[in-house]
Structures are given as structure tokens and as C-alpha cells.
Amino acid sequence: MATITSRSHPASAPPRGPVRQVTALGLPLLLGALSSSLSGIVDTAMMGRYGTDDLAAVSATSAVFDVFSNIVLASLIGYQILAPRFVGRQDPPGLVRSLRHSALYSGGLALSLTILSMADGRQLTGLVAGDRPGLASIGAGYLVTRAPTLLLLVPFVLLTATFNAHKQTRHAAVAGVVVNVVNLLLDWTLIYGVGPLPRLGAVGNGLATTLAWLVGLTWLLLAARRTRLARSLRGPGPVAPADFPTSIPRLAWPSIVSSGLDYASMAIFFAIMSGIGQAALAGGRIAFEVTVLAFGTAGSFAAASRILIGRALGEDDRAAARTFWRAGQYILLVPSALVGLILVVLPRWGALPFTSFPPVVDAVAETMPFVGLCLPLMAWTLGNVSLVRALGHTKWDMYANLAAAIAVQLPLGWLCAGPAGLGLAGAFVGVVGYWVTRAVFTEVVARHLVRT
């Protein structure tokens, strides 16, 4: 029976190089992230073959729901930062206190957003879809069944972060696979109606996602019991002073503001695409899902780097922290550049797995070269963010994100899409501008922080 301990390897084990350590920790995280991202991709693909109206409605509603879900995720960043530090300094009581504070803080926020989503679905859908009653009705039904995932995210992420801090990343990876497989099976069953079951469309899409996350959380809880992690988290123990900020709200609020405004800007971005046309809105959603998949891939190794940086800081080894920072960036730079080149050269390939409607395929093909240009910039940026967050400077990450989204992406995308007459391609010029700005900003900040 596996047991969680404060040290993942025996003292006599020879140390591995930083790139190998980040890779070994990141690969299971990658599997979980890909599975989680594929859940959204499967949802989009299923709706893309169900009907254009349903795909457009789910696209519009998801743009708003993404704001809420990422606010909840951002509220959990404090614990994700602190957990590796407490493990690195061998302080289980500090880990327990941090987990409990984060559960109360994020749980209350998730509950409020769940109630809002279920009560005002039509209005929330209309923020992006505009005055289209048919789409608003479909989106409202989708939100009623999808909203409970906000509550499930809190314990899921807390358990995942605790396992990851102990370098037990395989549990999160398997949980991600479980979510994806269950979601795929339930999507097919509930959206299209198998046998005597009715065709639920968008409502079935949301319900399938919620049930899949519930199954994934159940698996994590069983894993916590099997590895005795649950037993180690029952008592807070004595208070040991820490030489770093331990306030969950203090660490989380910049990420909440950053994530909330970032995804609010994405909702505005989808509104810009909606103004271009319904096919543009559907195609933009597909391009967005491809970007999310790439983000999850790069983010897995950035998360691995952040965990190792945090453990090194907990052991007061700043030289190792700097080494893990750069290792996390270099691992994905070449692969992301190669994948980006494929999307630039063969843009229609990005559309075919999702939809067969010719106008939507054309819209996706128009956006894919810009997504390809973003991938290496994304990988480099997330490597910098791993260092900034591990050091607890979440405000700088917020400044970089908001400056890129509000000052660059939205005005540049609107200008190119509308007045410049570039349409959907112009909107994605703004996305490229976002990643260029954020990459430069975070590189400057990260270099400054490692010198101080």
C-alpha cells in the first residue's frame, strides 16, 4: 500500500538533473491536463455535430461560465503555492491549516457563483449571444446542469494539489483520465439519446460534464484514503512560524482579479466574434478549445516547475529554484514551436476533428495560423509564471495578464476585426498581441525577482 510521506525518495537516491525532474513530475500532470482539456474538446465536438444553434449557444454560455470556473480555480492558487513549501519544510500541520482555510474561502465563492449560474442563465448567455432568445434558452438549460461543477472543482483541486506537493502526481493524472472517459460516454448517451433515453442536447452536455467531475472526485477521495493521505490531514497540529506569506486570501486575490478580468475579456472577445457571425462564433470556440489544450499541455510542466521551485524554496535552496525555472521553459519550447508550425502550415486540420459544417470549418481554418504563432510564446510565459507564483508574487502575474488582455488583446482585436475589416482573423491578431505582451512582461519580472 502506497503511503504519503514528507519525502518522496530515500535520502540515498542520487539526484536527477533539473530537466529530468521537471519532466518526470510533469508527464503525469500532462496526462491529467490533457484529459481535462479533452473533456472540453469532446463537449465542443459533440455539440458541433448536434447542431449549429446548440454549438453557438454552448459557445456563448461557456465563455461566461469560463469566467466563473477560472475565478474558482484562481482562488485555489494560494494553496497550490503553499502546499509544496510546507512539504519542503516538513510541516504537515501548516499544510493542514492551509488546506482548511482554502476550502472555506474557495468553497464559499464557488457556492455563490453556482447559485448565480443556475438562477440567471438566460441573462448570462445573452451577454455574449446578444438578443437571440433561442440561444438564450438553450444556454440557460446548459448552465443549470453544468453549474454544480464549480462546487466539485474545490475539493478536486485541493486534493490534486496535496498529492502533487508530495510528488504523487499519478493520482491527479488518473483522475483526469477518469473524468474524460466518463464524460465521453455520458456525452454520447445524454446529448444524442441512446435507446429509450431522450435527446437532451446542450442540457445533456452540461449534465455529462457535472457527473464526470463527480466520478473523478470520488476516485481522488478513494485514492486519499488508500494512500493514508486522508488520515494525515485530520488534525491541524501545533503552529510553526513560517518565513513566507501564508494568507490564502492575500495570495489568491490577485489571481482571482486577474483570472476573472482575463476571462471577462474573453467573453467580450467572443461577443466580438458573435458580431461577425454565427459561424465565426462557433469557429472561434473551436479555436479557443485548441488553445486551451495547448495551454493545459504547457501548464502541466509549468506546474511541475512551480512545485519543484516551491519545495526548493521551502528547503531554502534558491539556486535550485532558479534552475527549475529555466528547465520548465526549455522542456516545451521546441515541441510547442513544432506544433505551432503545423497549425500555421495546415490550418484546416485543426477544424476537422470538431465539425463538418463548411462555414465553421472555414472559420476555424482562418484562426489556426494565429493559434500556432501563440504556442511558443505561451510555453515561455507559463515558465515565467511558475517562478513568479512560487515566490508568492501573484500581483505581478496579475499585472502582466491584465495589461496584455485589456490594453492589448481587446483593443487590437476589435480594431483589426472591425475597422480594419479583417474579420475573424483580425480578432485573433489580438490574441497574438496578448501572448507577446505577457511573455515580455513576465520575462522582465522573473529576471528581476531572481536577482533580488
Using the predicted structure, report yes or no on whether residue 6 has a pLDDT greater than 70.
Answer: no
pLDDT value at 280 more than 70: yes
Predicted local distance difference test score (pLDDT) of residue 443? 93
Q: Look at 11 and 230; give whichever has higher pLDDT.
A: 230
Contact (CB, 8 A) for 53 and 135: yes
39 pLDDT above the threshold of 70: no
Q: Is the model's pLDDT at 102 over the cut of 90?
A: yes
pLDDT of residue 41: 66
Confidence category of residue 239, pLDDT binned at 50, 70, 90: low
Specify the residue for cell string 480594419: 420
Evaluated on CA atoms 311, 316, 322, 323, the torsion sign reads: negative
DSSP letter at 90 equals T
* Cα 45 to Cα 26: distance, rounded to the nearest angstrom: 27
**Three-state secondary structure along 248-309?**
HHHHHHHHHHHHHHHHHHHHHHHHHHHHHCHHHHHHHHHHHHHHHHHHHHHHHHHHHHHHHH
Nine-digit cell at 230?
486522508
Where does the pLDDT of residue 381 fall: very low under 50, low under 70, confident under 90, or very high at 90 and above? very high
Q: 419 pLDDT exceeds 80? A: yes
214: pLDDT strictly greater than 90:
yes
Picking from 31, 275, 301, the residue whose alpha carbon sits closest to that of residue 132 is 275
- Which one of 28-32, 36-40, 109-113, 414-418 scores highest in mean pLDDT? 109-113
Distance CA 364, CA 177 (A): 27
Task: Check residue 244 and report its DSSP letter.
Answer: S
Q: Which of 126-140, 336-350, 396-410 has the lowest mean pLDDT?
A: 126-140
Q: Tell which residue, 401, 142, 439, 409, has the closest CA to residue 273.
A: 409
Q: Is 232 helix (H, G, I), strand (E, B) or coil?
A: helix
pLDDT of amino acid 180 = 83
pLDDT mean over 283-298 = 78
Asked if the model's pLDDT at residue 413 lies above 90, the reply is: no
Range with lowest mean pLDDT among 266-270, 379-383, 438-442: 266-270
Q: How far is CA 243 from the centre of its chain?
A: 30
pLDDT in tens, 316-365: 888 888 888 888 888 878 888 888 898 888 877 766 666 666 777 777 78
Q: How far apart are CA 428 and CA 287, in angstroms?
A: 10
Best-predicted range by mean pLDDT among 28-37, 122-131, 280-289, 370-379?
A: 370-379
Task: Answer yes or no: are the C-beta atoms of 149 and 209 closer than 8 Å.
Answer: yes
pLDDT level of residue 277 (50, 70, 90 thresholds): confident
Looking at residue 7, its pLDDT comes to 36
pLDDT at 223 exceeding the cut of 50 = yes
Nearest-angstrom CA–CA distance, 82 and 131: 45
Q: Which three cell numbers stand for residue 341?
A: 508550425
For the stretch 70-88, pLDDT in tens is: 889 889 988 998 989 888 8
Share of the chain above pLDDT 90, in %: 20
Query: Among 240-244, 291-295, 342-346, 423-427, where is mean pLDDT lowest?
Result: 240-244
For residue 104, the model assigns a pLDDT of: 94
Helices (H) and strands (E) in the chain, counts: 17, 0
CA distance 151 to 325: 32
Helix residue ranges per DSSP H, 277-422: 278-314, 318-345, 358-390, 394-404, 410-417
Average the pLDDT over 26-50 and give the result. Answer: 70
12 pLDDT tier (thresholds 50, 70, 90): very low
The predicted structure's pLDDT at residue 393: 87
Lowest mean pLDDT among 109-123, 317-331, 356-370, 378-392: 356-370
Residue 13 is predicted with a pLDDT of 38
Which pLDDT does position 2 carry in this prediction? 35
Residue with cell 505577457: 438
Rounded Cα distance, 151 and 75, in Å? 13
* Higher per-residue confidence, 180 vs 8: 180
Residue 218: Cβ within 10 Å count: 13
pLDDT at 236 over 80: no
- Mean pLDDT (the chain, rounded): 81
CA distances to 203, 266, 328, 342 from 79, in Å: 33, 26, 21, 37
Helix residue ranges, H only, 120-169: 121-129, 133-146, 149-165
Q: What percentage of the chain exceeds 70 in pLDDT?
A: 87
